[in-house]
Amino acid sequence: MDHAPREYPLNAAADIQIRLLELQDRDTRLTQLAHKAKTLPEAAQLAEIDVRLSRLRDEVVAAETIAGDLELEQDKADQDVEQVRERTRRDQQLLDSGTIGDPKQLQSIQAELTSLARRQGELEDVELEIMERVEGARAAVAQLTNERDTVATERADVAAQVDVLLADINSEHSSVEQHRASIAGSLPDDLLALYDKIRADHGGVGAAPLHRGRCEGCRMQLPPNEIEAIREAPADAVVRCEECRRILVRTPESGL
């Protein structure tokens, strides 16, 4: 029993269909380049460095704030000690002047000198403690600043590497896009529209070669009856894989 020949809604010359494979190659390369740009190891390294650098910058600011507060405390402690020393000098000068004959007043000045000496000792202990804390805070600022600057230098080096790599990718991307536009411009509008729609719906692959009876789009071997139908199809018929619905392009290696 004879079967009615299959009808194909779209037709394009065989050499035009072959150009679909060239277009697919360009689209595949564009996809690869876009993925490469997004997944550069150096870009991931740069992002990690940015996190470290941001943290170190915050730590430097925090350390500088602590050091600044401690320096204010030290200034206050220095002033407190100096006030006591000045009061002690005045009392001692008064005592040494010999102008005070009142025993009670002399006794009062001597008692105040004793009290001032004790107070000066206490304040100097506080002053020394704060000085040590200031030195520690300044050392922390210096260390963190050095770490920040080292990481900033590392970031600049990696950023330069990323810029070079992206420039190379963008240059190739531009060249491939131009070639793609040239190929697309040579295709019939209806064929290009079908290809673009299938490509959008099927993971970026709109056309694939039929290679030894297998669709290279879905990697499925076509059944004998489908092979026979394609063999009998006119050369300008735009055939599609029954499994994945991509455009099947016939070549000398199709096994027909």
Residues 72-86 have pLDDT tens digits of: 999 999 999 999 999
Regarding whether 93 and 23 lie in a shared domain, the answer is no
* pTM score of the predicted model: 0.73
Q: Is residue 103 situated within a structural domain?
A: yes
Q: Is residue 197 situated within a structural domain?
A: yes
Number of domains in the chain: 2
Counting residues of the chain whose pLDDT is more than 70, the rounded percentage is 98
Amino acid letter, residue 55:
R
Q: Quickly state the pLDDT bin for 91 (edges 50, 70, 90).
A: confident
Q: Which domain holds residue 65?
A: 40-168
Regarding whether 118 and 65 lie in a shared domain, the answer is yes
Q: What mean pLDDT do residues 104-114 have?
A: 86
Residue position matching structure tokens 């876009």: 34
Regarding whether 61 and 26 lie in a shared domain, the answer is no
Residue 225, burial from CB neighbour count under 10 angstroms (0-12, 13-18, 19+): exposed
pLDDT score at 5: 63
CA–CA distances in Å: residue 136 to residues 97, 126, 140: 45, 15, 6
CA geometry: angle at 208 spanning 22 and 28, to 5°? 55
Q: Is residue 158 situated within a structural domain?
A: yes
